[in-house]
Amino acid sequence: GDNVDRGVHNFLVQIRSMEDHSLMPGIITGDIGPKLGYNNMDNGFARFNNVIIPRRNMAMRFTTVDETGKYTKKHMSAAASKIAYVTMMQVRALIIEGVGKLLGMACTISIRYSAVRLQGFDEKSKDGKLGKTEVQILDYKQQQHRLLPLLASSYCFYFVGKKSMDDLNHMEKCIIQGTGNISKTRVSDIHASLSALKSVTTAIASDGVEDCRKACGGHGFLQCSGLPELAGFTVHTATVEGDNHMLPQQVMKVLLKLVDAIHNDNEEAISEWMQSDSKYLVEPLQKSINGETETFGLVHEKEALDVKNILRAYQHRSARLLFEAA
């Protein structure tokens, strides 16, 4: 009523007649057409030209418009706003888990193909001559280097997606029941983690499925291999639910808040960060900001293979890169 742009809101709109299922006046719908992949999903469009709907068709749980046209925004509890946030993050967790499955499918096809495809002869025969039996291409280190890391990645993506979804479901339950202390910082931290994971996993999976296809040579170019369809199906994940070039900016925005909290010695904010998954960044950042040097020594070279030491090195690297970027 007061000519102010209130942003995006949800409305229920009847698009077809209840009598003959024809489109209502002023409404045009259609399919957007064939896509590079994901064609089992129908993506359509709708155009509305001077379509009038009842006022009560507006979703008015948090915002209302009365008979006079007065717009009122209700107070949204912190829990309600967090629930909306969690729902968005659950979709990203599903995508991360999904690309793990897709990459796993591609790896299964290409590795099995590599186990039965023979090419080249074994030069290490007893009489110094070429062997009579051709070699499985999976025995070539180049093929192993190409496919096996992708197989490992597929497991990683699948399990991190499942773990993220479990954490989000637990968080959602705590918010609804009012149990547990789910701070805004913790929600932001999980959002940053999932934004980063979505960007990284979908990029690796998209490139990985395509490389699996190439690793099968000419057979990988055939539709009957299943790989071209998988490649087209996977590549859309780089765009859906957040473009992969935009999401890292959201991650950095959240992490810079941590640096700011440590720089300003904000004890309350630091305490909240210590309850998040990014707590490993706090101590290294404090030392870097105070000009201190963090080191840790390895007594034996075997200690360099210890998962805990590898993880600690990566954590230090993350903190250092964040400090330099800030």
Kindly list the distances between the CA atom of residue 322 and the CA atoms of 7, 91, 176, 201, 300, in Å, as whole numbers in the listed order: 35, 27, 34, 21, 29
Question: Cα separation of 195 and 92, whole Å?
Answer: 8
Short-list 151, 68, 149, CA closest to 108: 151
Q: Which two tokens stand for residue 19?
A: 């009598």
Sign of the Cα pseudo-torsion (52, 58, 63, 67, in order): positive
Phi-psi region of 259 (alpha: psi -120 to 50; beta: other; left: phi over 0): alpha
DSSP state of 46: E
Helix or strand holding residue 96 (H, E):
helix 78-116
CB 18 within 8 A of CB 85: no
Short-list 233, 316, 284, CA closest to 38: 233
Question: Cα separation of 118 and 97, whole Å?
Answer: 33
Question: Cα separation of 150 and 232, whole Å?
Answer: 18
Question: Cα separation of 326 and 316, whole Å?
Answer: 15
Kindly list the distances between the CA atom of residue 199 and the CA atoms of 52, 140, 196, 205, in Å, as whole numbers in the listed order: 40, 31, 5, 10
Catalytic site residue from 172, 241, 294, 301: 241
134 is catalytic: no
Q: Which two tokens stand for residue 322?
A: 């964040």
Short-list 30, 92, 84, 89, CA closest to 59: 84
Question: Cα separation of 122 and 270, whole Å?
Answer: 61
- Among all residues, which ones are annotated catalytic? 241
